[in-house]
Amino acid sequence: MHINLSGKTALVTGSTQGIGLAIATGLAGAGARVAINGRSQASVQRAIEKIADTVEGADLVAVPADVTTDDGTAALRAALPELDILVNNLGIFEAVPALEIDDEQWRRFFEVNVLSAARLTRTYLPGMTERSWGRILNIASDSAVVTPVEMIHYGMSKTALLAVTRGFAKAAAGSGVTVNSVIAGPTHTEGVEDFVYQLVDKSVPWDQAQRQFMVEHRPQSLLQRLIEPEEIANMVVYLSSPMASATTGGALRVDGGYVDAILP
């Protein structure tokens, strides 16, 4: 399958590392002009250099901004008045016992993981519908469906993101714009390595720690390993393409079979 996104401009929020960086690399490899976003100019520049080393001739734009704020979103809109592809990837997570999650943590997770995506969708969807083409992807998680006891505030935010996705897909009905979420399973990133070591013995080597984590905390995974970020990116690149024109309002799983359900 050849995916050609030449002539399309994409924004990936939180694209300086992990899944976001892999998605940005995948979109650049398909020919899109990709805006790299993070909170600092330095982190954005490092990501751009990594992608340029991987994708020859990559067309990349630096857009450092805090998209969890109105001012940051306004600055981003000024730099990128129009988008063809919006990937709301920015997200935070942490392990906290349920009864120790305070009100501020509940608010913070909702504002970062849900409201930032809703705000950017509200910003760019009208232009997409006017041009009768666009792709909006929200990066969700298996935690949206299988609420993890060690971080229910994170699970809540990703469940809400599925509802936000479905609602905006209805708002875009018949416009040529598709809105989907991608349910990512347990994925191997630097942040996840830190998370794994919150739950298992910090003294053991990474390969052993990963296996212990999957057995003890994610035993329902059919893949029985952490997913690599590039595997998530492959789905996002496909959904960003004209080939996925009939897929909208969906929650597409790249979860390694973690969610024990037939649909979707």
What phi and psi values does residue 180 have, to the nearest 5 degrees?
-140, 160
* DSSP-derived secondary structure for 158-193: HHHHHHHHHHHHHHTTTTTEEEEEEEE-SB--HHHH
Q: Among 203, 259, 151, 182, which Cα is nearest to 12's?
A: 182
Peptide bond into 264 cis (omega under 30): yes
Residues 6+ away with beta carbon under 8 Å from 17: 43, 47, 189, 190, 191
> Do 99 and 153 contact (CB within 8 A), yes or no?
no
**Residue 197 a catalytic site member:** no
Residues 6+ away with beta carbon under 8 Å from 23: 12, 15, 87, 89, 139, 229, 232, 233, 236, 237
- Two tokens, residue 67: 């998209």
CA distance 68 to 90: 9
- Two tokens, residue 161: 């993101």
Active-site entry in 124, 154, 197, 258: 154
Residue 118 buriedness (CB in 10 A; 0-12 / 13-18 / 19+): middle
> Do 64 and 90 contact (CB within 8 A), yes or no?
no
CA distance 181 to 89: 10
Residues annotated as catalytic are 154
